[in-house]
């Protein structure tokens, strides 16, 4: 299956991709800015995400919250999200509302600052602090999002710190930070705009030129100081977190080749062999046969720079101790490294991935988002059409040599959640990092 | 440097919900096929009238356990073989039961459809229900119970249902059963539930995607044509309210970082003639991002990451719920602001502007909701489950557009009942008990955050 993709750039550096599909009268607009929590300066953890909230607070010709209202009134859906390496903004609207969606995105890319006020920043800071309480602090295992990268990347590394940010750093964020971040990163030459669905290509191009064409190019963003890390941990890292949970849970991470590389596809298929659905190794062995786990999955983090992570996530059954969980999971990994996988296992994993791929591409917003992703992270939007063949090319041999290289005890980081002991119930969870070998 | 004038929309292109064909096999099984041939993919959903309301008293959770046990083996394959046989075809079967149906579903590429479909039919018509498998599924459900009780959101939802519905009403108990009720279920209960509720007459088989009506009906006839069974069940009453007056319950979680708040009461059944008016009213009150409650609690006050309201639509009366999580210190203030919004909704007509925001949103997103074969199949499953008219999706947008500001006011006055509101807060009692009592909203009780 091939998606049509037409790519061009404006003079100001904005990369634009068009992917036409007229089956339904809807169109998705998707904008990736190549900036994420990795670009935050020291003392400003959480700022990239707080900034994402500010992009819904109006711009020169759009009132506060009007962005949401105008898109919903047009019959559209919308949102934004922040990740380590990027921030994206997207809306899907009836196709006769394409101009509105583009105009809204252009207005905040070109003229955000006139609408920024201290009061808006203060309110969104409170909203984000509540988002942190809701998704991290008041959620069992919710801190894993920050504790795992903290364990897996050294302190100086851009992926080490929390994406949602600390309460202290969120309190420090100022309007000057907003201005500086905007001028540095929210520029057309640091963005990819994708349009997918029902539109006339000539007209869409005209609209893009009209709304985005006069936005000036940026002055260039500072490079990430250091991003490269050794391809493996060279040890087993281990950290134990006491949390308000009843069941132990293990997150076992391995450093793996970055998103988009050949090694990435081997890692991704290995993750599926290990933990995708009920026929996977970990599910069969730990949930069904040994019955020591309530659930078992594995996936990649999809980081395109430095190092990616393959993560195994297993929750214990009530009668299983944390220690037993840890031992049994590692035994399964050791077994895979030692004995390898079969062609059938790889076939199963690749078949599931292929169905998910086609299933996802039914939606205009998914098509636009994936095209933006490949254009932003790997500089080639057409890679969206090469995924099926890249996965099909992964053989049992490739999985086995990947496993021997990356899944050994010299490349493991274990984040183990254990039920808080009663007498410690009033103490905050402490993170203890211990190198076990 | 940006363009100051907001662009106006051009003429809208027409959209129609995919056409579908209905058939009924000799054994009473209903078949619906919607041909959507954009990509070589098909979604299949079997909806069966085997619901959590058919759970035996004291064995709540049997419907869900039965649905899950379908995937654990058939007459000719054990559970592992079943999973592997499907997964090498790039698919897997999802199965679950709720208040109004059991749904068994899969999405599969066209070249694997006939083989996968055969396995799906086997799962539905010839499950093995091995003793060991049922016991393992029970143990998994009990582990899940512990996780739900650890989790403030799930705990709040569950506590709210218990508080709002009368003890004897099925809706008061968790849909998938409690620790006690699941522990009481035996393998034979699962088999008995299956025999009583899984029948061709109670099932609708839906196929949506790259398949013609003839192909779909032929597949269904081949795989399900010989299936037989007799229906023998009687529905129970599940939606009796706990009380008619306001009341507040605090579920104590001393270390909670936030308060999870639920406010509401028993709502109305899905078949209600004012359905569309209630949907539009709720969109303005708390259904949309730009709703009154969200703009107040989040955007004006910064109390929360989000607040919303919904009517949980079931065949019997599901709850009307306002749901949010706020910083502990502002729990009482957030509740006061919410109550103000409820009053305002019932006092005066909303503006024409607010009305059209809700109606044009609901009309506009309609085609966006049905982009995938799975979404189309699930919409058709709702037709079957709730007995909606055949032209329901063709007339949906007209019905939304016909709602007026007067209709919305009347719907708020009739179906949102300030005098019957129940409030449940999961949070830190030290920070919230006094302020909540000071609200003097209604009698306030407190219990520990453990299974009732």
Q: What is the pLDDT of residues A135-163, one digit of tens each?
A: 999 999 999 999 999 999 999 999 999 99
| Cβ pair B150:A244 closer than 8 A | yes
Q: Cβ(A332)–Cβ(A368) under 8 Å? A: no
For residue B150, count other CB atoms closer than 10 A to its CB.
Answer: 20
Distance from CA of A314 to the nearest CA of B (A): 13
Identify the pLDDT of residue A56: 97
Residue B4: is its pLDDT beyond 50? yes
Residues forming beta bridges with residue A78, ordered by sequence position: A91
* H or E segment and range at residue A178: helix A175-185
pLDDT over 70 for what percent of chain B? 98
Residue B407 tokens read as 């209709």
Residue B438 touches chain A, beta carbons under 8 Å? no
The pLDDT of residue B452 is 57
What architecture is domain B247-448? Answer: 2-Layer Sandwich (3.30)
Domains in chain A, please, with CATH?
6-212 (3.30.830.10), 235-435 (3.30.830.10)
Residue B229 pLDDT greater than 90, yes or no = no
Which H or E run contains B182? helix B179-183
Please report the pLDDT score of residue B230 as a whole number: 73
In contact, A3 and A19? CB cutoff 8 Å: yes
Q: Do A94 and B12 touch (CB under 8 A)?
A: yes
Taking alpha carbons only, the member of B411, B424, B422 closest to residue B283 is B411
Burial B429-447 (b: 16+ CB within 10 A, else e): bebbbebbeebebbebeee
Residue A181, both tokens: 């971040």
Sequence spans of domains, chain B: 20-224, 247-448
Q: Quick check: B361 and A277 CB within 8 A?
A: no
**HSE-up of residue A191 (Cα within 13 Å, Cβ side):** 32
Q: Quote the distance between the C-alpha of residue B282 and its chain's center.
A: 16
Of A1-5, A398-402, B207-211, the range with the lowest mean pLDDT is A1-5
Confidence class for position A423, pLDDT limits 50, 70, 90 = low
Residue A425's pLDDT is 42
Q: Is the ipTM of this complex over 0.90?
A: yes
Residue B427 β-bridge partners: B252
Q: Give every CB contact of residue B218 below 8 A, 6+ residues apart in sequence.
A: none
A363 neighbourhood in chain B, CB within 8 Å: 371-372
Q: Do B149 and A103 touch (CB under 8 A)?
A: no
List Cα–Cα distances, A417 to A144, A240, A248, A325, B142, in angstroms: 9, 6, 5, 11, 19
Would you call A96 and B290 a contact, using CB atoms and an 8 Å cutoff? no
Angle at A401 between CA A400 and CA A403, to 5 degrees: 65
Which of B17, B71, B90, B258 is the best substitution to test chain A (most A C-beta atoms within 10 A)?
Answer: B90
Helices (H) and strands (E) in chain A, counts: 15, 12
Residue B291 CA to residue B313 CA, distance in Å, equals 20
Chain A partners of B365 at a C-beta cutoff of 8 Å? 75-77
Q: Which residues of A touch B11 (CB under 8 A)?
A: 96
pLDDT-derived band at A434, boundaries 50, 70, 90: very low
Mean pLDDT score across all residues of chain A? 95
Determine whether the interchain pair B2/A214 forms a contact, defined as Cβ–Cβ distance below 8 Å: yes
Crossing angle between the packed helical segments B187-197 and B131-150, to the nearest 10 degrees: 90
pLDDT band for position B89 (cuts 50, 70, 90): very high
Alpha helices in A276-363 (DSSP H): 281-282, 322-339, 343-360
pLDDT above 70: residue A369: yes
A-proximal residues of B, 383-412, CB under 8 Å: none
Cross-chain residue pair B300–A123, CB shorter than 8 Å:
yes
Average pLDDT taken over every residue of chain B: 96
Nearest chain A CA: its distance from B68 CA (Å): 12
Between CA B389 and CA A164 the distance in angstroms is 46
The model's pLDDT over A305-359, given as tens digits with 9 standing for 90+, comes to 999 999 999 999 999 999 999 999 999 999 999 999 999 999 999 999 999 999 9
- The closest alpha carbon to A361, from A345, A376, A373, A346, belongs to A373
Query: Look-up: residue for tokens 């809306």?
Result: A91
Would you tell me which residues 77-106 of chain A have a C-beta closer than 8 angstroms to some C-beta of chain B?
77, 92-97, 99-100, 103, 106
Any idea which architecture B20-224 has in CATH? Answer: 2-Layer Sandwich (3.30)
Nearest residue to B234 (alpha-carbon basis) of B30, B49, B104: B49
Check for a shared fold between B20-224 and B247-448.
yes
Task: Please give the C-alpha separations between residue A118 and each of A48, A107, A115, A173, A181, in angstroms, as whole numbers.
Answer: 17, 20, 10, 11, 16
- Please indicate whether, in this complex, the C-beta atoms of A351 and B87 are within 8 angstroms of each other: yes
Of the pLDDT bands very low, low, confident and very high (cuts 50, 70, 90), residue A105 is: very high
Of B166, B167, B251, residue with least CA distance to B423 = B251
For B109, which residue in chain A has the nearest alpha carbon?
A: A355
pLDDT digits (tens, 9 = 90+) for B64-86: 999 999 999 999 999 999 999 99
Measured between CB atoms, which of A137, A214, A355 is closest to B257? A137
Residue owning tokens 């032209």: B391
B14 inside 8 A of chain A by CB:
yes
Please state, in angstroms and rounded to a whole number, the distance separating the CA atoms of residues B298 and A124: 8
Residue A67 Cα, gap to closest chain B Cα (Å): 10
Read off the tokens for A306: 């430095």
| Whether pLDDT at A432 is above 60 | no
pTM equals 0.95
Res A165 pLDDT > 80: yes
């Amino acid at each position: 299956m091939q998606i049509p993709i037409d790519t061009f750039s404006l003079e100001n550096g904005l990369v634009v991709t068009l992917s036409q599909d007229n089956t339904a009268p809807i169109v998705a607009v998707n904008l990736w800015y190549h900036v994420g929590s990795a670009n935050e300066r020291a003392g400003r953890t959480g700022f990239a995400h707080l900034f994402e909230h500010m992009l819904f607070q109006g711009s020169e010709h759009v009132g506060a919250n009007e962005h949401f209202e105008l898109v919903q009134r047009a019959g559209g859906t919308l949102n934004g999200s922040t990740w380590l390496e990027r921030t994206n903004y997207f809306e899907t609207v009836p196709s006769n509302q394409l101009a509105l969606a583009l105009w809204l995105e252009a207005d905040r890319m070109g003229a955000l600052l006139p609408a920024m006020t201290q009061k808006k920043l203060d309110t969104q800071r409170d909203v984000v602090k509540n988002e942190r309480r809701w998704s991290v602090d008041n959620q069992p295992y919710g801190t894993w999002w920050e504790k795992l990268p903290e364990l897996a990347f050294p302190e100086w590394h851009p992926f080490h710190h929390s994406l949602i940010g600390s309460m202290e750093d969120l309190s420090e964020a100022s309007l000057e930070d907003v201005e500086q971040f905007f001028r540095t990163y929210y520029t057309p030459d640091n963005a990819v705009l994708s349009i997918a669905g029902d539109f006339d290509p000539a007209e869409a191009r005209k609209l893009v030129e009209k709304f985005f064409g006069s936005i000036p190019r940026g002055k260039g963003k500072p490079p990430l100081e250091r991003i490269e890390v050794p391809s493996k941990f060279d040890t087993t890292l281990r950290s134990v977190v006491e949390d308000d949970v009843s069941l132990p849970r293990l997150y076992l991470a391995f450093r793996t080749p970055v998103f988009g590389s050949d090694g990435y596809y081997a890692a991704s298929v290995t993750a599926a062999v290990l933990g995708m659905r009920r026929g996977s190794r970990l599910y069969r062995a730990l949930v069904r046969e040994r019955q020591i786990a309530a659930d078992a999955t594995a996936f990649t983090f999809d980081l395109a720079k430095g190092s990616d992570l393959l993560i195994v996530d297993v929750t214990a059954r009530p009668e299983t101790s944390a220690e037993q969980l840890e031992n049994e999971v590692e035994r399964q990994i050791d077994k895979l490294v030692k004995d390898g996988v079969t062609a059938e296992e790889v076939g199963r994993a690749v078949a599931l991935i292929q169905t998910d791929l086609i299933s996802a591409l039914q939606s205009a917003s998914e098509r636009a988002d994936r095209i933006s992703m490949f254009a932003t992270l790997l500089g080639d939007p057409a890679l969206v059409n090469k995924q099926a063949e890249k996965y099909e090319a992964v053989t049992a041999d490739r999985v086995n040599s990947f496993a021997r290289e990356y899944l050994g005890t010299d490349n493991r980081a274990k984040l183990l959640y254990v039920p808080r002991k009663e007498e410690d119930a009033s103490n905050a969870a402490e993170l203890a990092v211990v190198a076990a070998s | 440097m940006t363009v100051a004038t907001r662009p106006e929309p051009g003429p809208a292109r027409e959209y129609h919900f995919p056409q579908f064909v209905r058939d009924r096999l000799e054994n009473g099984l209903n078949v619906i096929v919607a041909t959507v041939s954009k990509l070589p993919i098909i979604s299949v959903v079997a909806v069966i009238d085997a619901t959590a309301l058919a759970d035996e008293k004291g064995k709540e959770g049997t419907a869900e356990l039965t649905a899950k046990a379908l995937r654990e083996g058939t007459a000719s394959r054990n559970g592992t073989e079943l999973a592997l046989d499907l997964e090498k075809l790039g698919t897997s079967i999802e199965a679950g039961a709720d208040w109004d149906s059991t749904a068994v579903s899969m999405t599969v590429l066209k070249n694997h459809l006939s083989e996968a479909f055969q396995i799906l039919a086997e799962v539905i018509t010839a499950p093995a229900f091995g003793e060991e498998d049922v016991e393992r599924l029970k143990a998994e459900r009990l582990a899940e119970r512990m996780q739900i009780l650890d989790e403030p959101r799930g705990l709040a939802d569950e506590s709210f249902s218990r508080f709002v519905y009368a003890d004897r009403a099925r809706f008061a108990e968790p849909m998938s059963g409690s620790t006690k009720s699941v522990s009481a279920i035996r393998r034979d209960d699962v088999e008995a539930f299956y025999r009583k509720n899984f029948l061709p007459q109670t099932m609708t088989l839906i196929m949506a995607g790259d398949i013609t009506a003839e192909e779909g009906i032929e597949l269904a006839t081949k795989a399900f044509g010989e299936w037989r069974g007799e229906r023998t069940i009687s529905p129970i009453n599940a939606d009796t309210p706990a009380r008619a007056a306001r009341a507040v319950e605090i579920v104590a979680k001393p270390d909670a970082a936030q308060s999870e708040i639920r406010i509401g009461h028993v709502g109305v059944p899905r078949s209600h003639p004012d359905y569309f008016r209630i949907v539009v009213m709720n969109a303005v009150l708390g259904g949309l991002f730009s709703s009154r409650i969200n703009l107040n609690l989040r955007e004006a006050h910064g109390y929360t990451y989000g607040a919303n309201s919904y009517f949980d639509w079931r065949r019997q009366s599901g709850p009307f719920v306002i749901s949010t999580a706020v910083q502990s210190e502002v729990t009482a203030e957030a509740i006061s602001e919410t109550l103000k919004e409820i009053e305002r909704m019932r006092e005066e007509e909303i503006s024409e502007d607010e009305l059209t925001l809700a109606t044009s949103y609901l009309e506009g997103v309609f085609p966006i909701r049905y982009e995938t074969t799975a979404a189309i199949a699930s919409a058709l499953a709702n037709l079957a489950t709730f007995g909606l008219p055949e032209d329901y999706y063709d007339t949906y947008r007209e019905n939304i557009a016909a709602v007026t500001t007067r209709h919305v006011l009347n719907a708020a006055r009739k179906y949102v009942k300030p005098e019957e509101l129940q409030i449940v807060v999961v949070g830190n009692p030290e920070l919230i008990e006094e302020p909540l009592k000071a609200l003097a909203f209604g009698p306030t009780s407190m219990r520990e955050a453990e299974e009732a």
